[in-house]
Structure 1
């Protein structure tokens, strides 16, 4: 069988179903979205978070922004949400229109270059009203998550009509940037797809310097979804910053 980009995003939805009841990270974002009358989800992917918000009764403005057309095709199955093709810096099209901007699922790490970070944060800041919040999480570089991304760790994907295997392999670690592949294959090992990506791992001090320069104040910082502090073993750096 062919494995198309549309298959890839459908598989992603199967593997990472949004669940604000049982998944602490999803619950964290759901609460913030519920309390905001206008939300911009930057890197919305297939739109799962905003779909769930609307299903849960959110009556305000919901906008998803993402550069990946197969993801947006899947997101657009729901037509009572605004879906916009574009990267994070394209948030500059809006001026002080949102109470909350989000980057869930470690999407912030896709901002790889210094220029990406600078212009994207400026755009998100501009799209928020004064006092608006920007919520996101990143993987904590101190925990060195990429060391567990090895080909021998194979994820079995079954259910929803899928019977596949998936694994990761790190190609390079250069300063705070990690480049890796994600391979999807049949049970017999026949490779269907190999994706390649680079993520940037920024520590607290780097994040705070970038946010301050963009005009944000950090109001919340956790190292886990239970509200614990960031430590060397924390998997995440969870941040909510406010537009000054």
Structure 2
């Protein structure tokens, strides 16, 4: 099931305003620009790959998302990227991508062990020899959900310039490593509030490493924040760079990839 905040066009159009470009986007953009072929799983409104294309990336850029309303934004933004509606578990990609990313904490929507196993297996299958999988998930030790309270209101404007207020509220105590919350959207001139209910999984680092190994992936690097500081108990993020445990890739070259001739190697 796709959360209403992503499935409904009027709410999906607010995503970029609620989540402006930041250090995390810069982090991923550097990786994308130095990879020949990139798959963005859960690409949302497509701003990462669209920016890479505008900045001169001339290789293969593919964005995948199960929410049609999000892909509407992506296709409007940059028609020169391959946008695919669907799920990585059902795509026939085999060894086609040098880099697979999951940004915007999309990894946290994988709630069950079965979902996690299938998605990680599909990511591993999509990676080219010596490819890499990079993603982030909120560090459960930082307890980000304690700050999701109705008194913390985001104020943005919709596509018609009308003011919109958005806030979150957690529903009850944690259930294992899962947090369920309701997001409320209240717009100027709207007939009623719009609600979106979501559940996220907060996976600790040891479990994360174990599940990656089971999928044939190994942790190459882990950071606690976008400045590449080491992961600690107090770090807000668990940013993971993973690769095949069979043939570890070399250190990642940050040289921008701009030439189609490199695709012909």
Aligned to 1:231: 232
2:164 aligned partner: 164
Conserved 8 A contact 2:14-2:158: no
- Which structure is higher in RCO with an 8 Å CA cutoff and minimum separation 6? 2
Contact 1:184 1:191 in 2 (8 A): no
- CA distance in 1 between counterparts of 2:59 and 2:197 reads 36
Instruction: Say if 1:223 and 1:191 are closer, same or farther in 2 by CA, change over 3 A.
Output: farther
Shift of 1:14: 2.2
Tell me the C-alpha RMSD between the 2 structures: 1.9
SS at match of 2:128: strand
CA distance change for structure 1 residues 234 and 189 in 2, over 3 Å: closer, same or farther? Answer: farther
- The answer to whether the 8 A contact 1:183-1:191 is kept is no
Q: C-alpha offsets along residues 40-72 of structure 1, whole Å, 9 cap, x if unaligned?
A: 000001111111010000000000110001011
Instruction: Give the C-alpha shift of residue 111 in structure 1.
Output: 0.7
Q: Does the Cα contact within 8 Å between 1:13 and 1:46 map onto a contact in 2?
A: yes
Instruction: Report 1:33-52 matches (<5 A).
Output: 33-52=32-51
- Does the Cα contact within 8 Å between 2:17 and 2:157 map onto a contact in 1? no
TM-score by length of 2: 0.85
TM-score (norm 1): 0.92
Unaligned runs of 5+ in 1: none
Alignment check: 8 A CA contact 1:151 1:167 kept: yes
| Cα separation, 1, equivalents of 2:191 and 2:80 | 40
Contact 1:137/1:239 (8 A) holds in 2: yes
State how 1:68-83 maps to structure 2 within 5 Å: 68-77=67-76, 78-83=78-83
SS at match of 2:53: helix
Paired position in structure 2 for 1:137: 136
Counterparts of 1:1-244 in structure 2, within 5 Å, are 5-18=8-21, 23-77=22-76, 78-91=78-91, 93-158=92-157, 161-172=161-172, 173-186=174-187, 191-243=192-244, 244=246
Separation of aligned partners in 2, 1:30 and 1:52 = 8
Structure number with higher strand proportion: 1
Runs of 4+ residues over 6 Å off in structure 1: none
- The separation in 2 between residues aligned to 1:16 and 1:142, in whole angstroms, is 23
Contact 1:95 1:127 in 2 (8 A): yes
1:205-225: CA deviations, max 9, x gaps?
Answer: 010001111111211100011
Q: How many residues align?
A: 237
After TM superposition, give the deviation of residue 158 of structure 1 in Å.
Answer: 4.1
The alpha-carbon deviation at position 187 of structure 1 amounts to: 5.6
Question: After superposition, what is the alpha-carbon deviation per residue over 1:179-201, rounded to whole angstroms, capped at 9, x for unaligned?
Answer: 11100003699743100111000
Higher mean alpha-carbon deviation, 130-139 vs 80-89, is at 80-89
Q: Report the Cα offset of residue 229 of structure 1.
A: 1.6
The 3 A distance-change label for structure 1 pair 190 and 166 is farther
Contact 2:97/2:127 (<8 A) preserved: yes
